[in-house]
């Protein structure tokens, strides 16, 4: 029950549903998610932690950046099934579509706009 509740609680927040949908297109670093959601980095980090603890997403640290992606083969089956369900439920959702539009711009210019260090080189 605990494991399932971790998942349902993780899914019971609109911001976290947006994050899950945003990651459908592939991994993102925290600063990109921050840019999309327009929330404080600390807030976004907390949401990512909750999703991570539920097994719905995983993280990978590359030098100074941390990239998050949806649960995959190496993840618990329960998480994979939950993901499949919630993605179906959100299919065609207006705010999700809006986010995916915004994400296109972010992933295009993110390096210069968000990660100045990397952009300067």
Partner DNA sequence: TTGACATTTCGTCATTTGACGAATTATAAT
Partner DNA sequence: ATTATAATTCGTCAAATGACGAAATGTCAA
By CB under 7 A, name the binding residues for DNA.
9, 12-13, 15, 29-31, 34, 39-50, 59, 61, 63-67, 114-118, 120-121
Measure the CA dihedral 61/95/73/42, to 10°.
30
Nearest distance from C-beta of residue 49 to a copy of itself, angstroms: 17
Q: Which does 48 bind (CB under 5 to 8 A by kind): DNA, a copy of itself, none?
A: DNA
Sign of the Cα torsion 94, 76, 40, 114 reads negative
Looking at beta carbons only, is 31 or 48 nearer to a copy of itself?
48
Read out DSSP for 61-85? Answer: EETTEEEEEE--TTS-HHHHHHHHH
Q: Which does 101 bind (CB under 5 to 8 A by kind): DNA, a copy of itself, none?
A: none
């Amino acid at each position: 029950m605990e494991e399932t509740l971790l998942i349902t609680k993780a899914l019971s927040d609109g911001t976290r549903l947006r994050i899950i949908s945003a990651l459908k297109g592939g991994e993102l670093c925290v600063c990109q998610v921050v840019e999309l959601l327009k929330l404080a980095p600390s807030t976004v980090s907390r949401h990512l932690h909750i999703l991570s603890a539920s097994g719905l997403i995983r993280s990978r640290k590359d030098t100074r950046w941390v990239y998050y992606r949806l649960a995959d083969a190496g993840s618990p089956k329960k998480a994979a099934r939950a993901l499949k369900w919630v993605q179906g439920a959100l299919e065609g959702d207006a705010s999700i579509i809006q986010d995916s539009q915004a994400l296109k711009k972010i992933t295009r210019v993110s390096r210069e706009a968000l990660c100045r260090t990397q952009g300067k080189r």
